[in-house]
Structure 1
Amino acid sequence: MYFNKCKLLVSLAMCLNAYSVCFAQQPTHSKEEMNRFNQFRSGYPPETTEQYWERILGLEQLLADYPNTFLKGDISITLLNYYQHVTDDPHLLIELSDKMLALRMYSNGAYETAARILVDKKVRSDKTLLYAQNALKEALQKQKKWGGNGRGELICRDLLARAHQLLGQHDRAVAEIKTAIRSWQTREDLGDLEMASRQASVDKAKTHLLRIYIDQKAWTEAYELASELLLSSIIRTDIAELWSQAYAGKFGSGAGMSKAYVALKAKWDKKIIQRVEKKRISRPAPTFEVQKLDGEKITSEDLKGKAMVLTFWAGWCSPCIEEQPYLQNLKTQFRKQNVEFLAINIDQDSSMRRDMVASFRYQSAPLLTFALGDLQMRKAFGSDEIPYTCIIDQNGQIRYERKGLGADFSVAMAHQLEWVIGMNGTQ
């Protein structure tokens, strides 16, 4: 412990020295600076405190050697992230954050990083609130200047709400989260994937709001929000438990909880079905030829006479990977029907591609047929986004299509597939 505190004192001294001369010269820019920076931020994350210290001291020595390096803003962000792993002392965390923030040259997310670290460490301080407020200002400025889907604003408002909550300012915390959610709900300029990505952040914000309601024993608000999240949230972690707490709080006990859940789900499913039935289409699916992982070719002509669920995905696409277990469950649900499930990978071709696809298949969805395709094939289906998933009937007509994942995925896909099977008589 004494040794680590000594390291922190040395670290602070080095930061102060770097800051005192950081504007004395023109910014420096050399290959040596970049190489040394990459040395201490690349590769696998540190696993031990000593490994974190090695990187921290290395980066601070870089600042001492090149006090006006053009990288000092990026170095400050990296140092802030490393510091949180070597100390829980709130005073030291604030002091270190102040020193690192002093090195920033531009709006590079340093305030957001500092606020997140102090909030996660539950540092009850006006500085935590100040950092969160400045992070939100930066996010709003960036959004005004560069546009975007508003996810940065949502994250920073959630951080600010958590900072208010740490200081016991619950009403302000609730107000910030509601402002963030309201801002999202009024946006109409987002694509399907932007909506799906930001929906996950909104779900997290609503979950935070739900926890505040439960802490404050605002049971009516908690139950209404928990019911909404239980059925519509993409992220389901802990939601069922929170709903149970809200139910017991509102009704005084857990009696009748199972029956209430069944009724709630039936109501939600009915809304989904009414909505997706309006999205049924009929247009010819493009002809295609792809290669399965064993090298066998498969064509659209080979699949005539079957209903088919086809999806385009890539290894770098998180929603695509999240979708695969849902497709696996759908395949299990329709295992007795003559339905083909085809997952077409569109990553760039490489020597590792086949092994990567095989690994995803083994881990996520072994019942699906995985194949290798390309971007042109996806575009032929009329989509510039992934995951793109469609249902094709036995006559080669696209009957339903969707982009992104969404909380309604399983119910919507199952209902539309049942309709296609019944319509075509596929057994």
Structure 2
Amino acid sequence: MQKTEQVQYNRAGQRIVSPDYLLFEAPREKQFMTGSEVVKEAVKRASVDASVSYPITPQSEAAHLIGELWVEGYVGVYFRGESEFGVMSEVAGCSMAGARTITTTSGPGTLRAMENFPMWAGSRLPIQLVLMARGVNAPLTIQPDNLEISFLLDTGCMIWHAETAQELFDMILAGFVVAEQPDVHVPVITAIDGFFISHTREAVMLPPDDIALPPYNPYKSPMVPLDMEMAPGRFLRDPYVMKSNYISYAAHTSWQFEVRAAIERSKPYAKHYLRGLIEEFGDPEAEIVFVASGTAAAQAKEATLMLLHDEGVKARVVRLKTIRPFPTKELIEALRGAKYVFVPEFNVIGWLEREVRRALYGNLDVPVIGSPRVAGGMTMPPEFIVKEILQFLGKEVKHVV
């Protein structure tokens, strides 16, 4: 007698399917939507238990749309926090209690909540934060800029950087799957460049909305969730870690290394669900290589095509999908044969340039040029990139104004 598999449904009545089916196999239909709307569509298919929000541009619309999902029955718990710091504390509580949790933030909101992010990581909470990066400076700005990513690099969270709204959709779903792996179990920050992705419309391929990820099982966590047997007071573990003595120092040191080791253990999962940790574009033999992430990679790709077709200069792009874990091995292999490496960025300090230099140091001897770089809301047209490359190479600028 043939055995039939029992169909399971989540609280919203959606059919539970495997992550591989949802991300790779399910049929998809084309939609035209903003990045903020894409966040709603991803969360709708993610069997999310809880979300807490606080409005700050440009993530306010995404947070509002998650609230609509709560009204529609797709999210278990949703409320507004009293501040960005409060939100990040409250989602920690949700996650400690065993809930699959997501929230969003931007710019100054990220900074106000900063203390919580290493706490998430140290508590091994697989919270997902959708970061819609924006400028951080005085006078106040709400313009595109991803400076704040540099502040998050060493908090103990995974950090992925989406290039498009399509990738944002897929990364949100994949983020829950990877972060919740028992040997990983750290937060994941899914970052986009605010406004460029959050407020523009593009074609996005979506699977049916009557299927969803399997619910989160908190009892596979390396940290026991809070329940009737694990009271909140016991969550901090033994009191010796709070003391000032050698045992305390050793415990805290080993735990910090363990959190970062967990990020490294995420690599094979991320490689599978993101279809690789990096993407290569352009002429594989080109000696001029752009290393970029987010929308800077999209502009670098356009510049690569312009360099080839208009100027007769071969170039290629190595796009990093994940910043933490940093794809050091993949980057080194991709840059073999490069003569010059350019790192275009939407921030003033060049945090990705620093990461690239650190990865290549002692492994590959190739000049790294932290350029072109714009900040504070400036755009980076591909013509601007092409002009800067040609001037660096000492070539005549023929077609670029």
Same-fold call, TM > 0.5? no
> Whose relative contact order is higher, 1 or 2, with alpha carbons under 8 Å and at least 6 apart?
2
Higher strand share: 2
TM-score by length of 1: 0.29
Higher helix share: 1
